[in-house]
Structure 1
């Protein structure tokens, strides 16, 4: 099966959102380049630097499934039944949103109520030999603590937020979790793309 990779667009001081859940300038790099790249779902087009465009294409073409938590699912309003990355979605939740499921009968979404490990297992089945991407800091932290992550991918934006209610991993139960040297380091315009292996 493929690898499990936590992914985030993050400020230099580790935040993925401001206190009011807005993202400030974190996503500006998605529209500051000359290379037009449609998203896999074709719902909009990003405009990237040449280096970021190559990295983006490689990353999106490798994906087989996405795991997220209920908070992200709700904030995104379920992506109207089709995620921008156009892959199956596994949502970790305490309660299945029955009304949403009824309204989106053909949506490739699976709702898992028995924990993160079960959700990762289901996502691996869906992804086959492709990458399972974990989105959202809470789910990423749980995966990291459970030893379920193979890689951590960061799109690091050179901005200091100063404060935020969403640090990527948040507070870990362990003192620290060492990662390996980056296997990917791509310099884009106003973003650095990094991928770190997780030691097992």
Structure 2
């Protein structure tokens, strides 16, 4: 069965986006082949994605997971029912108010591959429910100072076991198992 992972690029101070949700700070850091290999390995492991839908339940250009490089089923959390959306070979299924159902559907779709959780709220909800198996972070050398925190507001301790740590050019790649 599929593993459920939180997969994110964050700043050293723990932000995954600026205060407006922007991620333009994420680009332009130097990298080497080893950095690309770490990211490529994670991408090959992914078989489905769970994220949050926007307010209009549309799939806008800047909201496509992994910039559209990953052609896997995407399950979007929402508060209102909506028919699935097909865009550029990817099916976006909207799941109403049941994150556990979304994760289970994504696991079924992923088969023996992993499910990536995208977004702070989605990640925190799944951690609280015990649905997360691993956390994979790419930490860039930047202090954003303010923004949207990946884990801020979690409100509980989660014990982790380090699986892997790599640092090459600019990023530090961290992989942890959630101790259950």
TM-score, normalised to structure 2, is 0.87
Aligned to 2:12: 12
Unaligned runs of 5+ in 2: none
Residues 150 and 28 of structure 1, relative CA distance in 2, 3 Å threshold: same
Q: Deviation at 1:136?
A: 0.5
Q: Secondary structure at the match of 2:25?
A: coil
Q: Which aligned pairs between 1:174-185 and structure 2 lie closer than 5 A?
A: 174=156, 176-180=157-161, 182-185=162-165
Is 1:91–2:76 an aligned residue pair? yes
Q: Check conservation: 1:9, 1:27, Cα contact below 8 A.
A: no
The size of the alignment, in residue pairs, is: 177
Q: Deviation at 1:188?
A: 2.9
Q: Check conservation: 2:71, 2:89, Cα contact below 8 A.
A: no
CA distance in structure 2 between the partners assigned to 1:71 and 1:171 by the alignment: 21
Q: Which aligned pairs between 1:48-63 and structure 2 lie closer than 5 A?
A: 49-63=32-46
Aligned to 2:130: 147
Is 1:124–2:107 an aligned residue pair? yes
CA distance in structure 1 between the partners assigned to 2:171 and 2:60 by the alignment: 23
Q: Check conservation: 1:155, 1:191, Cα contact below 8 A.
A: yes
Q: Secondary structure at the match of 1:28?
A: coil
Q: Which aligned pairs between 1:1-200 and structure 2 lie closer than 5 A?
A: 1-29=1-29, 32-33=30-31, 49-71=32-54, 76-77=60-61, 79=64, 83-98=68-83, 101=85, 104=87, 107-164=90-147, 166-174=148-156, 176-180=157-161, 182-200=162-180
Q: Secondary structure at the match of 1:51?
A: helix
1:94-133 per-position Cα deviation (integer Å, ceiling 9, x unaligned): 12445x83x7596422111141101000000000111111
Residues 57 and 146 of structure 1, relative CA distance in 2, 3 Å threshold: same
CA distance in structure 2 between the partners assigned to 1:113 and 1:119 by the alignment: 9
Q: Secondary structure at the match of 1:108?
A: strand
Q: Check conservation: 2:53, 2:94, Cα contact below 8 A.
A: no
